[in-house]
Chain A
């Protein structure tokens, strides 16, 4: 048995929901003074139960989590949003402290919860390599030694002495990841950072992380990309509501468990903003649904040649010309198929939006999706300025199950391999002798 490098014992983290204190001394004093006179909390909203500030709702983001990681293991951590993955990473990264329990670590630990932490826009690429390296715990000598390799890996040699504020976002991320890639810690903790960058770059990152794992260093990897988890990890933890649901060497098995779990909870084609979770005046979503040709919500499997419409209703209070609304569709493995926006047409054809309640509707292409389970996320942004609903960040989600209707052919009636199953027209003609 190889040496244990991380030992997590009875780890728990409690969060106080709602506001901790009121944020200003004046308001704290008001609350305190009212309490003193036996009056109700003057700042509590009407209709809201008065918990007081000290005994507000309590959430256990992690509860009694125990596991150990041997040296050289690549451990994947998966779970739905809010299952406690980020909290676990934050504790391991020493960004926050646990409420109960301990973590023991042997060796240098580096966490990549984000690439490019501490980059200063006014400094050049080269200067930022040193700064970022130091923030991650490298000494100046170490960075100097690896400088050429880092620059080489980043692929931005030509701009290395230009301030990073002039970089494209792609260059920025590449440079930032390059620094992280050469950290060479004994233990590397990686969050969803691979979700950024283009496909080629993601491949490069995954390759680099694979190298790290093969060199006998330990990797903890959190992701929604199940293919990456399966490729990279030798063991996998499934977190559910702050506890370990499953931990096993059978990575495929854990991933399947995750899917059966998550689809059972929400297998519906309708989401409504019941808890008023999203209330942006630019885009206040009311519902997000999949409907059939009779405008009925689709809650069971449908054929891929039937009419499936994505329907979004929303209240627009504040009109912003760059508002883009759409959806992202993922396979059950978490692989993104595509994004689609209401603005995917010539600008002249866009509908001018006024304040009010609007419906946005779009049909899924017929006979394109393969049999399987799909997840659709509602996304919205002020184009290139601000995400209102950012993909993979706890946005409204609905599910779709496709069964049958693959083709009219007698030879194609069961699921074929491949992400998509489009029926594509073929032209077949005989080549006559005299044309030769």
Chain B
């Protein structure tokens, strides 16, 4: 074997190639898999550290949805007297809050990935995507707690004889979560990529999510909306998710569940755009942030 061929075979065996540009589609998802232990630890850290030195600890997960549901029940149910399709207003709003909380949590917490982690990203390499991915997973834990709260009230209303019609759509819950994770993560990493350049986006996201909630059937059923507003609400990919959730547990919905396919498709597209942008930003953001 001559010397030149030897060095060629050697250079084929490089484990790592650091070069100026990374292809738009070179997402390096394999790296993320190799760092799965880190993702697990991030999930655990967010959960444990978030509530150390608080009096109520994880009970905040219980208190938050109950309090906001009580406010909704008073303001929208008793004062504004919005329709709830014949279901008890408290349960109606609690259902909306529970499912919306997961999406909002994912979106808000992933949207500041780069800016919040600039210090650590500037010192050591690990797949940046592990941060938002861990956020989406740790939000499942808080969702599970809120879901238990919801189920407790739901069972209570069933026992006292309120006419609810739980049905087979309950099995769709994991699918709903998956679509919401995709939407929350997708939107979140798009925003986090753009905030490396424009900090004002961060301000926008806070109330943007709030506004989006009013464009989703969280505090009203789809059936109570008409005209142009109805179109807007149908465009919103969160609408079918909330409606199918209510359909599954409360048995009321004015929306054909087939719309879930639209949400799913939307999630895939947003995730894909998000991944491309995130990956592109990851390479250069240390020089701009």
Residue numbers of A with Cβ under 8 A of B are 3-4, 7, 15-16, 20-21, 23-26, 28, 90-109, 111, 113-114, 117-118, 120, 122-123, 127, 130-131, 134-140, 163
Contacts and interface: CB of A to CB of B under 8 A. Distances in A.
B38 interface: yes
A371 B197 CA distance: 53
B120 A117 contact: yes
A122 B52 contact: yes
Contacts, number: 121
A135 B283 contact: no
Contacts of B121: 95
Nearest to B21: A97
Contacts of A118: 120, 124
B175 to A, nearest CB: 30
B126 A123 contact: no
Interface residues of B, number: 39
A24 B200 contact: yes
Interface string B8-46: 001101111111111000000000000101101100010
A49 to B, nearest CB: 23
Contacts of A101: 19-20
A390 to B, nearest CB: 16
B288 A120 contact: no
Contacts of B126: 135, 137
Contacts of B11: 7, 104
Contacts of B153: none
B48 interface: yes
B2 interface: no
A135 B131 CA distance: 11
13 contacts: A3-B10, A97-B284, A98-B19, A102-B18, A106-B16, A117-B123, A120-B49, A122-B49, A123-B52, A130-B41, A131-B45, A136-B124, A140-B37
Interface of B: 10-11, 13-22, 35, 37-38, 40-41, 45, 48-49, 52-53, 120-126, 197-201, 283-284, 286-288
Nearest to A128: B45
| A28, A108, A117: residue with the most chain B Cβ atoms closer than 10 Å | A117
Nearest to B203: A24
B198 A28 contact: yes
Closest 7 CB pairs of A and B: A94-B125, A103-B18, A134-B38, A105-B16, A104-B14, A122-B52, A122-B49
Nearest to B204: A25
Given A97-B283, A134-B38, A123 B124 contact: no
A107 B10 CA distance: 13
A183 to B, nearest CB: 11
Nearest to B15: A106
Given A97-B20, A105-B18, A25 B200 contact: yes
A12 to B, nearest CB: 9
Contacts of A127: 45, 48
B231 to A, nearest CB: 28
B124 A113 contact: yes
Contacts of B18: 91-92, 94, 97-98, 102-105
Nearest to B122: A95
Nearest to A96: B286
